[in-house]
Structure 1
Amino acid sequence: MAARNDGLWDLLLRRESHGTLHHWEENGFGHLPWSEVVADAHGMALALRAAGVRPGTRVATVLTNSAHTVRGLLAIWLAGGAVASFPLPARGQAPEEYGHQLSVLSERLDPAALLVDERLRPLVPEGLAAQLPVLTWTSLYRDGRIDPEPPGTEDTAFIQYSSGSTSLPKGCELSVRAISTQLHMLRQMSDGRPGQETIASWLPLSHDMGVFGTMLHAWAFDHDFVLSTPERFGMAPRTWFRDMSEFGATMTAGTNTALHLATRAQGRGVLPKPLRLKVFVVGAERVDWGTLNAAAETFRSSGLTPEAFMPAYGMAEATLAIASTPLGERPSVRGFDEAALLDGRVVEVPEDAPGATRLVSNGPPLPGVLVRTDRPGQVSELLVATPSLATGYHGDPQRTAERFRDGELRTGDVGFVHDGEVFFVGRADDLISVGGRNIYTGEIESAIEDTGPVRKGCSALVEVPGTPVSRLVLLLEPARRSDDFHSIADRAARVALEKAGIALSECVFVERGHLPRTPSGKIQRFRCRNLLGRDENRLKTIARVWLD
């Protein structure tokens, strides 16, 4: 194998390793040393070579949370291919819609093959299967070893497709150098000790936080890795903390919504063993101070300390992490004048001041990373320069030119930098303009959820185009079907008016668990808009309350 100056392949293919992959199967965990993962990947790479995977080719994949997928990821690289990670089916997505998505993405990618689980094979359209080999991970097993020809330092090794929370998934091209750099940034951020840490995760490996932040992070630095699944977490959120207790996990990562669900599910239950967590990264969406406090209190008797929480900011275009609360420091929360924020101004006030909104800091930029705003000192688009930056979007030169400029990324995220710390406010796609004023939907949703019988993290305010004017519609999942929906709608309308001076047109109540979401749990606003009025059966609407 040719010499590499980035170290990625040396990390993954080390001759001596002590770490173990603990992977969830149907009724329990299987256990596989990283050395056996590498040996199995060699045999799988032989099968991929026979299927036409060569250096410079691309392989479309749907990375599910199984040991087969983990082995197969390395196998693609050993054969010389670049991995393209397509999104998993989103919650509420029809099979036909997902099949169409696979076809569109494959047409843009022009892959040598498509790799999926056995259970997802029926979702691949017949027309797509006629155009390229569709293989399952389990069909690749062979004996033997391959002469590795992995991608070179500046070559594309991974194409990370977005979860599609705001639009059609876009593929970020990541070089070997970007991935290697990011993994070393994560090690520095977490102060990981090779052979002495255990990372636990249920996050989908199709998502950047799952594949880079947990799985490859563990593999590269010889940590034990406890791999659960999004499906298992969704059915039983308590399993996340239970796994960390059983395996003595020192690191984990997840979303604010997932932390809320796990905390609520735990209740007053007791974990089997004390927690050993020193790194608990919370990211992928805006972090709520109340969620952190509730989790710290619920798991305090099990050994969880507030200093373990590390609210962070990142995105696929940066491979993953951009900013993070420093290791061992308590998360920081600040009060800001809400009216000023809506006008784009940053005015810090006491947390309990009238009209104050509390924002959790995402910490300072990581070493070597620069974060600024489009309008310095104001709430505006975040701009990022990082050594782990993607090279662009695959097959989309126009979007690449718009977002990647002079070594800097226009993130599409709205926020600000205050006292050297990054504060994420929301996606630009989540910003609506009413009467010439910018309104951040997350602020209103959070306030409505705090007022009563609405499930936490289960509301979405969307703007629906209309004639002559657009309408503001709130979709939400009620805590109970027996609730008075008209009362909830009136209360939500009052909060929206008091909070931001906007008038809701309608409240749409959706069955529990049926708001469209990505596999990592983020609400897909564009799909909410598309389904409204077009396919209410798919939305599982239980009531509509008009407020005009």
Structure 2
Amino acid sequence: MRHWAAVRPDAPACTALDSHGAELATLRYAELDARVRDTAVVLQQTTNPGDRAILMLPNGVDFVVAFFACAYAGLIAVPAPSPEGIHGGRRTLGRLAGIVKDADPVLLLTTAELADAPLAGELGGVEPVVVADVPAGLGELFRDPGVGAEATALLQYTSGSTNAPKGVVLSHGNVLANLSAIAVQTGAHRCTADEFVVVSWLPTFHDMGLAQILGALYNGGRVVLMPPMALLMRPFVWLEAVSRYRARVSSAPNFAFDLCADRVTAEQRAQLDLGSWGYALNGAEPVRYDTVARFTEAFAEAGFPAGGVRPCYGLAESVVYVTGARDPGDPPYLDIDAEALEQRDEIVPAAPGGPARRITACGRIPANVELTIADPATGAPAAAGQCGEIRVGGPSVSAGYWSQPEATAARFDGAVLRTGDIGFVHDGQLYVLGRRDDLIIIDGRNHYPTDVEATVAAAHPAIATHLVAAFLYGDRPQLGIVAETARAVKVTRDAPAEGSGAVGYADIVSAVRRAVAEEHQLHAGTVILLRPGALPRTTSGKVQRRRSRDLLPDGGPRAW
């Protein structure tokens, strides 16, 4: 920040948009640095280096100011769900209360609205600081605390897709090492700082959302932020911002690319110029090649480049990024023998006409990452041609979880992270199959839930794309399926009346059972259909299979 404030003081650093894409504010590097120093002085008056500060701010310039003010003052930043989430209900409040209890912060950096809200009092009485109200001109009093690379920069709370959120301890050195790898992956050396523009709707408290901010500023570029709901309510707003600001980088989970392919109209596409968007990073959940192909085809007429969608693999315990870069000529996917994988965990190229599974390539392993494929039980390197647990080491990897030694011991073997994800490396590229904990094992055959979920989503047009959860349940394990229906669909438990436009519940379930049986030779014990918006998901949009399983046996109040 200090470097670019000196070298590019008048260059735009951060821009905030509203949910319709209108520009709210822009800070140039000198202005951003000045506000950061002013805020850091306020923090230093009541804190000591190493204290924690919760950041509860919406996507916008105040979040960026608060995050860097913590770094300047030597505090540990703790990004947390924004005010919109707090107004959303008790579930979000419970998550926030858990983060506050775990992190034990001394300050809450927030908005005036939240500081005065009654719900804020339920978070433990942490002293609020309204970032927007910090007076200008205090920066001359700033004193550098001399924080080193080994000091903790932030606690990145995991999304909770598989279990309760935990605070990943990330040092300044961890973050810088990861940003260096991302800069290589996104070709920062092949463009000017003015051309390094990042557009993001992802929540700033999510690892991929925070990385987009830091990645832009690390390279002296510009980050354009918009509310997360903009994507869900108006997908075109995201793409229009990419087009208007000539973004080079904009990242999203798989579902966002599907949402755009489904809902952005031909008339809207005609208004876009996506030729600058060479790095549409796709991560945070398993990447399906059909999503990559659909999006690329849908927006080719808007200038979106072939190969622009770049599947990646990463996780909060390694800041965010592990793999994603590709060499020219690297294949985008691999078709493997489905039976060999299910029965023996073997990676064998699919025979022509035989049962196949297409796995998306998640890129090459950076020079500063040590990645191995290991036997999950013994930790020994997996045999050639076998899949195994992805294990990661290197300067980006965290030292563990905040104040949770047992959880740290379960996931970290010294400097090596046991990711819990299953995959393999082929010709230098990483291929990710899914999470070990989610594996569906029936009759001695391994089924990855993402494969079953894709089959369910394609079984009937009434089922929403990528809004399906497949899992085991019961004392005698059976396959359970919970699926959300598409927004325009009306489902009836009775026989649909002619001309009503409704779809019969039994017809959809029958189609699902038939497809799962044909594709996977599995019997679906229970199939539940939910109304739009009812399937449990994390803040980044990932389906929560464990919480979905809790909806059995009847789906709860939001089932059809």
TM over 0.5: yes
Does residue 152 of structure 2 align to residue 156 of structure 1?
yes
Does residue 433 of structure 2 align to residue 434 of structure 1?
no
* Counterpart in the other structure of 1:144: 138
Q: For residues 368-390 of structure 1, what are the alpha-carbon distances to aligned partners after superposition, in whole Å with 9 as ceiling and x for unaligned? A: 21222113232221111222111
Give SS of 2:403's match: coil
Q: 2:32 aligns with which of 29, 32, 37?
A: 37
Letter matched to residue 244 of structure 2: E
Does residue 77 of structure 2 align to residue 83 of structure 1?
yes
Q: For residues 13-39 of structure 1, what are the alpha-carbon distances to aligned partners after superposition, in whole Å with 9 as ceiling and x for unaligned? A: 545342432211366112221221111
Q: 1:56 aligns with which of 50, 54, 69?
A: 50
Contact 1:279–1:308 (CA<8 Å) still a contact in 2?
yes
* Counterpart in the other structure of 1:265: 263
Letter matched to residue 267 of structure 1: T
Q: For residues 72-123 of structure 1, what are the alpha-carbon distances to aligned partners after superposition, in whole Å with 9 as ceiling and x for unaligned? A: 1111222220112234599899722332322222222111123344555548
How far apart are 1:451 and its partner, in Å? 2.5
* Counterpart in the other structure of 1:486: 506
How far apart are 1:411 and its partner, in Å? 0.3
**What does 1:82-481 align with in structure 2 at a 5 Å threshold?**
82-87=76-81, 95-118=89-112, 122=117, 124=119, 126-130=121-125, 132-145=126-139, 146-149=142-145, 151-192=147-188, 193=191, 194-212=193-211, 214-269=212-267, 270-275=269-274, 276-326=276-326, 332-343=332-343, 344-350=345-351, 353-375=353-375, 376=382, 377=384, 378-453=386-461, 454-464=463-473, 466=474, 468-479=475-486, 480-481=489-490
How far apart are 1:153 and its partner, in Å? 1.1
What is the TM-score when the length of structure 2 is the normalising length?
A: 0.88
Decide whether aligned partners of structure 1 residues 144 and 89 sit closer, same or farther in structure 2, where only a CA change above 3 A counts: closer
**Structure 1, 405-414 or 16-25: larger mean CA deviation:** 16-25
Q: Distance in 1 between matches of 2:543 and 2:87?
A: 12
**Structure 1, 525-534 or 377-386: larger mean CA deviation:** 525-534
How far apart are 1:127 and its partner, in Å? 4.4
| Identity among equivalent pairs (%) | 27
Give SS of 1:402's match: helix
Decide whether aligned partners of structure 1 residues 353 and 457 sit closer, same or farther in structure 2, where only a CA change above 3 A counts: same
Decide whether aligned partners of structure 1 residues 119 and 495 sit closer, same or farther in structure 2, where only a CA change above 3 A counts: farther
Q: Distance in 1 between matches of 2:57 and 2:127?
A: 17
Q: Distance in 1 between matches of 2:3 and 2:423?
A: 36
How far apart are 1:278 and its partner, in Å? 1.8
Contact 2:453–2:468 (CA<8 Å) still a contact in 1?
yes
Decide whether aligned partners of structure 1 residues 140 and 339 sit closer, same or farther in structure 2, where only a CA change above 3 A counts: farther
Decide whether aligned partners of structure 1 residues 89 and 117 sit closer, same or farther in structure 2, where only a CA change above 3 A counts: closer
**Structure 1, 310-319 or 477-486: larger mean CA deviation:** 477-486
* Counterpart in the other structure of 1:5: none
Give SS of 1:306's match: coil
Q: Distance in 1 between matches of 2:327 and 2:200?
A: 19
Gaps of 5+ in 1: 1-8, 543-548
Decide whether aligned partners of structure 1 residues 90 and 461 sit closer, same or farther in structure 2, where only a CA change above 3 A counts: farther
Q: Distance in 2 between matches of 1:536 and 1:262?
A: 30
**Structure 1, 250-259 or 111-120: larger mean CA deviation:** 111-120
Q: Distance in 2 between matches of 1:45 and 1:182?
A: 25
Q: Distance in 2 between matches of 1:119 and 1:503?
A: 51
* Counterpart in the other structure of 1:545: none
Q: Distance in 1 between matches of 2:3 and 2:320?
A: 19
Decide whether aligned partners of structure 1 residues 113 and 533 sit closer, same or farther in structure 2, where only a CA change above 3 A counts: farther
Letter matched to residue 394 of structure 1: W
Decide whether aligned partners of structure 1 residues 92 and 281 sit closer, same or farther in structure 2, where only a CA change above 3 A counts: same
Letter matched to residue 494 of structure 1: R
Q: Distance in 2 between matches of 1:493 and 1:119?
A: 49
How far apart are 1:271 and its partner, in Å? 4.2
Gaps of 5+ in 2: 376-381, 491-501
* Counterpart in the other structure of 1:6: none
* Counterpart in the other structure of 1:3: none
